[in-house]
Structure 1
Amino acid sequence: MKVEIITIGDEILIGQIVDTNAAWMSRELTQCGFEIEAITSIGDRSADIIKAIDIAFGRADILLLTGGVGPTNDDITKHTLCQYFHTALEFNDEVLKNIESIFIKRNIPLNQLTKKQAYVPVSSTVIQNKFGTAPILWFEKDNKVLVSMPGVPFEMKASMQDDIIPRLKNKFQVSEYLSRSCIVTGISESALATQLAEFELQLPAGFNLAYLPSLGYIRLRLSVWGEERLSEIKQQARKLKKILGICFVSKGEKMPEEILGEKLRKKHLTVSTAESCTGGYISHKITVVPGASDYYEGSIVSYDNLIKEELLEVDKKTIESQGVVSREVVEQMASNVAKKLHTDCSIAVSGIMGPDGGTKDKPVGTVWIATLYNSEIISREYNVGRSRRENITRTANIAILQLLKMLKN
C-alpha cells in the first residue's frame, strides 16, 4: 500500500522548525510494510491543501496529514477538509469530554477557543487524542484513507502507534519490508560505489542498495519487499560483508556510540576520553546512550595546552617540538587519561577545527586521533574538512569508530 505524508504549516516552509514528523512516520510505516510514495510540505493555505490532497490521492492509497489543527485562526486544516469532503462541522460531546479531562489533569481552566476543538467534520471517524485537544480525523474515499493529525510530535507519535498504524494494518494488506544495514568507514562514497559496482549488478530483481553518507562514515542499506525473500537477503548481506572486508565496522541500524557501548559492556571494559579540539563532544555522544555509566568513567577536556601539561601530563617539550596536533601528543593524552581515570580503553583527539589556525603543513581539518585498548595504542592522522561544526562531529564519529574497530579486531 502506498502512502503519502503531507505536513502542513508556514513554519515548516520558512525554516522556523524542522519537519521531524515525516522522517519518523516514514521509518515506522516502512517497517510495518507500507511504501512511502511521497512527502509533501505545504503552507497554511486552503487552496494549497486541497491541491496537495488531489495530487496525493492520484498516486497513493493512504494520505497522512499533520499540522494545522489547532484552535487559532491560522489553523485551517479542519475547515479545508470539510470543504474537500463536502461536509460540515458538528459538535462532538465525546471530544469535549476528552478535552476536559486533559485540562483537569493539567489543572488549567478551559476556554471557549479550546472548546471549539470539539467541532469535527460529520463524515469523519473521530479518534480521541490522548495527549492533546485536537482529535484525529479519519476519512475514507473510494477505498482510500485520509487521516488528519496534530503536528505536535509526541501527540502524533502516540496516535500513530496506538491507533492509526493498527487500523491501517487491519484495513490494508501489506508486504513485509526486509532490510539489512551496516556501517562502513575508511573509504569515500565514490570509491565504495566503485568497489560494489559488480555486486549491485548481480543483485536479484527487486533488491536495492542505498548509500547513506554521514559525517565520518557511510551506512549501507540493502532492502527488498516480501517475507518470502528472507533467505535471499541474508545471503546477499553475507556476500556484501565479505566484499567490504576491513571497511565493514558493524551491522544494524544503531549509531556508532550505541554499538561501542554494547561492545564495551559485553567485554566488561571501561572507557575515558581526552579531548582537545572536540571540546567534550565525544563524551557527549557516549553519554547520550542510556546505561553509559556501565562503561564510561569520565573525560579530561584539555582545550588549552596548559591543561594538557598539568592534568594530562603531556610533555611540554613534545608539544614544542612536534606541535600540539601530532601523533606524539595524542598518544600521551590517550595513555595518561587511561591511567588517571583507571580505564581499559581511551580516546584522545587534537586537531584544527577552523576556520582559522591552519598552516601549510597542518591545514584546517588536520586531526590526530589515538585510541587505546589494553595498553595498545593506534594513532592516525585525518583531514576532516573546513567547516568547524561538521569537523567536530566528523572527528567524534571517526574517533568512536576507530576504537570500535580495535575492540572488534
Structure 2
Amino acid sequence: VIMTGGLGPTKDDLTKQTLARYFGTNMVFREDVWAHIVKLFESFGRKPVERNKFQAEVPENCEVLFNHKGTAPGMLFRHNGRRIVSLPGVPYEMKGIIKNELLPLLQDEIDYQIKHKTLFVVGVPESVLADQIEPYEGDFSENIKLAYLPKPGLVRLRLTARGKRADDLHSDLEAAAKVLKEAVGDPLMDGSNSAIEKYLGEVLTQKGLTVGTAESCTGGGIGATLVSVSGSSAYFEGSIVAYSYDIKETLLGVDHKTIVEKGAVSEEVVRQMSEGARAKLKVDFAVAVSGIAGPDGGTPDKPVGTSWIAIAGPTRTITEKFVFGKVRERNIQKTIFAALNLLLKEVEDYG
C-alpha cells in the first residue's frame, strides 16, 4: 500500500501521527533525519527553522526513506506480511524517493520484474490502430500486455512484460514488437521507451547531425519541443518563426510570386522555407511547417487543419500534406508531432 501527502511541518499534516496511532507506536526524533534536513537546507544556502524539526519526527517502527529533493522523509512500515509506504505529496519528491529509495529496496526483496518497451505511431487514430492490432494480439506471449497511450497527433503503444528475475523479458518484448510491426507496418516507430523528441535527439547525437526549424502555424512549438530535452544544444541550432509573408521572404528567401500564386500554405512555399532555413541556419536538416490552425482561415481547397510539412536534408527535400481537425490547439500539437516524426524518419534513413 502506498499513500502520499500530509508529511509537512504544519498542524494540518497529520499522516505520521495517524500512522503511529494505527500501529500503536510512539513518535521519535531521528538525529539522522534531522542531519539530512540541515544538509539539504545548507545546499540551498539557507538554515532550517525550528518548525522543520517536526519533519525529523517519525513513528518508531518505520524504516526511513530519505528524501533527497525535500525535507519530508518517506516511511516504510512492515505489518502482518504487508508493506505500507507513506510518501510526500509533492510529485517530484515522491517520484525521487520511489526511484532512489523504495524501488531498489523492493527489488532486493521480491523475485519479480516488470519491463516496458514503447513504440509510437504518428497521424493514425487510436481506433484505426486498435482494428489493425487486435487480430494479432493472440500472438503475444501470455506475460505481455499492450496499452494505448494517445495524445493529439500521436499514439504511444506501451508493451509491458512481467515475470521473475530469471525470465528473459527483453526477448518477450522484442518478439511482441515484431508482432506490432507486422500489424501496423511502416508507421510504427521504435521510441526506445522515450518521448519522440528525446529519441530524435539521441539519433541526431549518435550521427553527429544538426537541425533547425522554420515555423509558421506552430509558432516555434517544434523548436520548443526539441529544446525541452536536456543536451539538445548538441544538435539544435535554432528556429525562425516566419508567420508573416514578409518574414518568409526576407529571412527564408521564399519567392514572393510563389506565395501569391500558390498561397502560404502550399507545398512549394514550405519546400522553400525548409531549404532557406537549412542554408540560413547552416544545419544538416531543417524542418518547415505552414498551415491553417483555425478556427478561421479555411477555404474549400484548404480547410482548417491543413498543414504542409517539409524536411530539407543533405541529399533531398521531402514534403507531405496533412489535414487534421478543426480545433486550433490540437491542430498545432498534431503538426508538431507529424513534423518530428517526418524528421526522425529522414534522420534515421540518412547515412
TM-score (norm 2): 0.88
Q: Is the contact between residue 311 and residue 317 of structure 2 (CA under 8 Å) also seen in structure 1?
A: yes
**Pair 1:380-2:328 in alignment:** no
1:89 deviates by 2.5
Q: 2:168, 2:47 → 1: CA distance?
A: 55
Q: For 1:311-353, what per-residue CA distance to the aligned partner results, in whole angstroms no more than 9, with x for missing partners?
A: 1121222222222111111111112111222333211101122
**Judging changes above 3 Å, is the alpha-carbon distance between structure 1 residues 207 and 386 closer, same or farther for their aligned structure 2 residues?**
same
**Judging changes above 3 Å, is the alpha-carbon distance between structure 1 residues 362 and 152 closer, same or farther for their aligned structure 2 residues?**
same
1:274 deviates by 0.9
Whichever residue aligns with residue 82 of structure 2, its letter is K
Q: Is the contact between residue 372 and residue 403 of structure 1 (CA under 8 Å) also seen in structure 2?
A: no
Unaligned 5+ runs, structure 1:
1-62
**Counterpart in 1 of 2:242?**
302
* Equivalences for residues 1-400 of structure 1 within 5 A: 63-171=1-109, 173-226=110-163, 227-228=167-168, 230-400=170-340
Q: Is the contact between residue 266 and residue 290 of structure 2 (CA under 8 Å) also seen in structure 1?
A: yes
The total of aligned residue pairs comes to 346
Q: Is the contact between residue 74 and residue 85 of structure 2 (CA under 8 Å) also seen in structure 1?
A: yes
Q: 1:92, 1:342 → 2: CA distance?
A: 59
1:69 deviates by 0.6
**Judging changes above 3 Å, is the alpha-carbon distance between structure 1 residues 251 and 90 closer, same or farther for their aligned structure 2 residues?**
closer
1:399 deviates by 0.5
More moved, 154-163 vs 253-262: 154-163
Unaligned 5+ runs, structure 2:
none
**Judging changes above 3 Å, is the alpha-carbon distance between structure 1 residues 389 and 174 closer, same or farther for their aligned structure 2 residues?**
farther
Q: Is the contact between residue 144 and residue 172 of structure 2 (CA under 8 Å) also seen in structure 1?
A: no
Q: Is the contact between residue 198 and residue 229 of structure 2 (CA under 8 Å) also seen in structure 1?
A: yes
1:131 deviates by 4.5
Q: Is the contact between residue 216 and residue 290 of structure 2 (CA under 8 Å) also seen in structure 1?
A: yes
Q: Is the contact between residue 384 and residue 394 of structure 1 (CA under 8 Å) also seen in structure 2?
A: yes
Q: Is the contact between residue 92 and residue 118 of structure 1 (CA under 8 Å) also seen in structure 2?
A: yes
1:199 deviates by 0.8
Q: 2:92, 2:309 → 1: CA distance?
A: 39
**Judging changes above 3 Å, is the alpha-carbon distance between structure 1 residues 185 and 70 closer, same or farther for their aligned structure 2 residues?**
same
Q: 2:259, 2:14 → 1: CA distance?
A: 63
**Judging changes above 3 Å, is the alpha-carbon distance between structure 1 residues 92 and 180 closer, same or farther for their aligned structure 2 residues?**
closer
Q: Is the contact between residue 82 and residue 121 of structure 1 (CA under 8 Å) also seen in structure 2?
A: yes
**Counterpart in 2 of 1:6?**
none
Q: Is the contact between residue 116 and residue 193 of structure 2 (CA under 8 Å) also seen in structure 1?
A: no
TM-score (norm 1): 0.76
1:106 deviates by 4.4
**Judging changes above 3 Å, is the alpha-carbon distance between structure 1 residues 98 and 337 closer, same or farther for their aligned structure 2 residues?**
closer
1:402 deviates by 1.0
1:140 deviates by 1.5
Q: 1:232, 1:92 → 2: CA distance?
A: 46
3-state SS in 2 of match to 1:134 = coil
**Judging changes above 3 Å, is the alpha-carbon distance between structure 1 residues 194 and 316 closer, same or farther for their aligned structure 2 residues?**
same
Whichever residue aligns with residue 331 of structure 1, its letter is R
Q: 1:116, 1:270 → 2: CA distance?
A: 52
Q: 2:68, 2:132 → 1: CA distance?
A: 50
1:228 deviates by 4.3
Q: Is the contact between residue 38 and residue 47 of structure 2 (CA under 8 Å) also seen in structure 1?
A: no
3-state SS in 1 of match to 2:77 = strand
Whichever residue aligns with residue 309 of structure 1, its letter is E
Whichever residue aligns with residue 222 of structure 1, its letter is L
**Judging changes above 3 Å, is the alpha-carbon distance between structure 1 residues 111 and 376 closer, same or farther for their aligned structure 2 residues?**
closer
More moved, 182-191 vs 140-149: 182-191
Q: 2:72, 2:123 → 1: CA distance?
A: 49
Q: Is the contact between residue 335 and residue 375 of structure 1 (CA under 8 Å) also seen in structure 2?
A: no
Whichever residue aligns with residue 142 of structure 1, its letter is N
3-state SS in 2 of match to 1:360 = coil
1:230 deviates by 4.5
- Sequence identity percentage: 42
1:275 deviates by 0.6
Q: 1:294, 1:109 → 2: CA distance?
A: 38
Q: For 1:177-215, what per-residue CA distance to the aligned partner results, in whole angstroms no more than 9, with x for missing partners?
A: 233322223422222222222211333323222222232
